[in-house]
Structure 1
Amino acid sequence: MVWIFLLFVGVAAGTIGGLIGLGGGIITVPALIYLSGMIPELSHITPQVAVGTSLLVIIFTGLSSTLSYMKRKLVDYKSGFIFFIGSAPGGIVGAWLNSFFNVHTFLIYFGIFMIVIAGILMIREHIKPLAVKQGLHTISRGYIDENQKEKFYGYHPTIAVIISFIVGLLGGLFGVGGGALMVPAMLLLFAFPPNIAIATSMMLIFLSSVVSSVAHISMNNVNWLLAAILIPGAWFGGKLGAYINSKLKSNTIIIIFRFALMVLGARLIYQGLF
């Protein structure tokens, strides 16, 4: 029964991750920590193991979704690799910082992180992106929006690398892949269109999770059996999320998801305190 539950966790994490560019660790990590407190056979799952295992699974979620988005030609490869310059070292630093957490401390900070992400998802639709100015030191792209109007998105490479370093650090620290912060940053700061932001985020999540996973593997923070059970569901879920993204508006799903994040985040903080 536990293994079936984990398979569904993988599908849910992959679907949500692929749909709105979060990576899926925001579901996998709490699920693994919850099981460690409920099932004696899984009591060995520490926050470090939960994060390391989640990041390994996210590699397959990210790859699956990225391949689907590549077929639809939505991935901005140049931007993805520029963001990766910052997120790769950030992921390594995050994996190192994770080793200093005990269970209670991790639950509190992860709970706060989840509530912050819920807040970002809540306000991101009400904030207009910054105006993008084309200049010598700015990378800019043009695209045709749904109203057939030409618009631009872009960024300064230095600012993009700094932001992606922070995103990578949090991804390696909490095992969430970093898309939870990178997508809002691309939407609000760089004026990316939502579909390109999500697709490029999944590419970045794939690359960053590879680096962060290597760091966690070197510290023996991966449960290979759990990963093997979660990965098939995450692979399928990643493709499913990308498919749903192409067919439906994700507003309703985001509303439900952010409410769940707030409830779960509050519960984790309560567990960590008491």
Structure 2
Amino acid sequence: MVDWTVAAAGLAVGVIVGLTGMGGGALMTPILVLFFGVPPLTAVSNDLVVSALMKPVGGFVHIRRKTVHWPLVGWLCLGSVPAAFAGVLLTRAFGGDLQNLVKTALGVTLVLAATLIGVKQWLQRRRAPGGELVVRPALTVLIGVLGGLVVGMTSVGSGSLVVVALLVAYPTLAAHRLVGTDLVQAVPLVAAAAGGHLLFGDFHLDLTVSLLVGSIPGVWIGARYSSRAAGGTIRAFLAVVLLASGLKMLAVPNEAVVAAVLATGLAIGVAHVYTRRQRAGQGADPAWALLGDAGSATAQARGD
């Protein structure tokens, strides 16, 4: 039976994913834990299954547009697929402390993801795409292993964490190929993590159905209006929400959470004013270049 309250939450998250290409696992998992009282392992298991059904849509778009660097995808998957499955087994090895482990790992990952929203845009502004790209297999496999472990344990990171690592490792990779490569490699990565959670996690079919009922039309709606959305504003909002959610997962006192959110909001405001003045001085269209670019319909199913 469909829980329409959960479906409404899935709809809201789906719209954000469609508008910005990110935020799926990083938003849905803490919403299920903090607002619906779902145990952390159950939230991670069901979110990964939902994500595994959504990501191939965006991957197919990039494959058709030939914006995928296949050698990078291959090396990433060589590390991420087994690591994602191992991440599930690692959480099971902690026995009675399992729920606390997942909750702590999720909190740390959410705080990191919030930070990386800004780091990602900062790196993109300083990269020099278009040069020769030399694939480094060992480093790429290592990125896949670390990303896979985090995704297997928390459902967060297939987009936000891996894409920043790729930005650092391959600064000459064009932006559209970066998005396509990251999204396609995430398909088998999330599928492996979802398979592990189906076998060893805490999957509930009714919860997954409720999430899909809301998230699938939400993604479609968000993608439909992504070209007209203020992507930077939404990404800034995501950074604040993810930070607050992560701190609450880590049992940080409310006063400290409020202080952190206010400080982050102030930093975003200062960055916004500075960027507008800098861009205006260069004669360019003012934008929130530091914290976000326009959402992309082709990135609609990236999730985090």
For normalisation by structure 1, the TM-score amounts to: 0.77
Select 1:214's aligned residue among 195, 202, 213.
Answer: 195
Equivalent residue letter for 1:174? T
Instruction: Name the CA shift for 1:19/1:77 in 2 (closer, same or farther; >3 Å).
Output: farther
1:187 has 2:167 as partner: yes
Contact 1:48 1:221 in 2 (8 A): yes
Decide which of 134, 139, 154 is 1:174's aligned counterpart: 154
What RMSD in Å do the two structures reach over aligned CA positions?
3.0
Give the conservation status (yes or no) of the 8 Å contact 1:187–1:194.
no
Matched, 1:31 2:31: yes
Aligned position for 1:114: 110
Q: Which whole-Å CA distance do the structure 2 matches of 1:204 and 1:198 have between them?
A: 10
Deviates further, 168-177 or 240-249: 240-249
1:154-165 matches, within 5 Å, as 154-165=134-145
Report the residue type matching 1:159 in the other structure.
L
Greater displacement, 193-202 / 234-243: 234-243
Number of residue pairs matched by the alignment? 249
Report the Cα distance in structure 1 between the residues aligned to 2:126 and 2:134, rounded to whole angstroms: 10
| Closer, same or farther: CA 102–170 of 1 in aligned 2, 3 Å | same
1:235 maps to a residue whose letter is I
5+ residue gaps, structure 1, are: 38-44, 133-144
**Counterpart contact for 2:11–2:214, Cα < 8 Å:** yes
Task: Identify the residue that residue 48 of structure 1 maps to in structure 2.
Answer: 41
Cα–Cα, structure 1 residues 18 and 79, in superposed 2: closer, same or farther, change >3 Å?
Answer: farther
Q: Report the CA distance between 1:202 and its aligned residue.
A: 2.0
Q: TM-score, normalised by structure 2?
A: 0.70
C-alpha offsets along residues 46-86 of structure 1, whole Å, 9 cap, x if unaligned? 32221111110011221122223334433333422321111
CA contact (8 A) 1:129 1:187 kept: no
Q: For 2:206, give the aligned amino acid.
A: L
In structure 1, the partner of 2:8 is 8
Aligned counterpart in structure 2 of residue 96 of structure 1, from 78, 89, 93: 89
Per-residue CA deviations over 1:170-203 (Å, capped at 9, x if unaligned) read 0000012522211111222212333322222222
- Is the contact between residue 58 and residue 234 of structure 1 (CA under 8 Å) also seen in structure 2? no
State the identity as a percent.
Answer: 22
Q: Is 1:58 equivalent to 2:58 in the alignment?
A: no
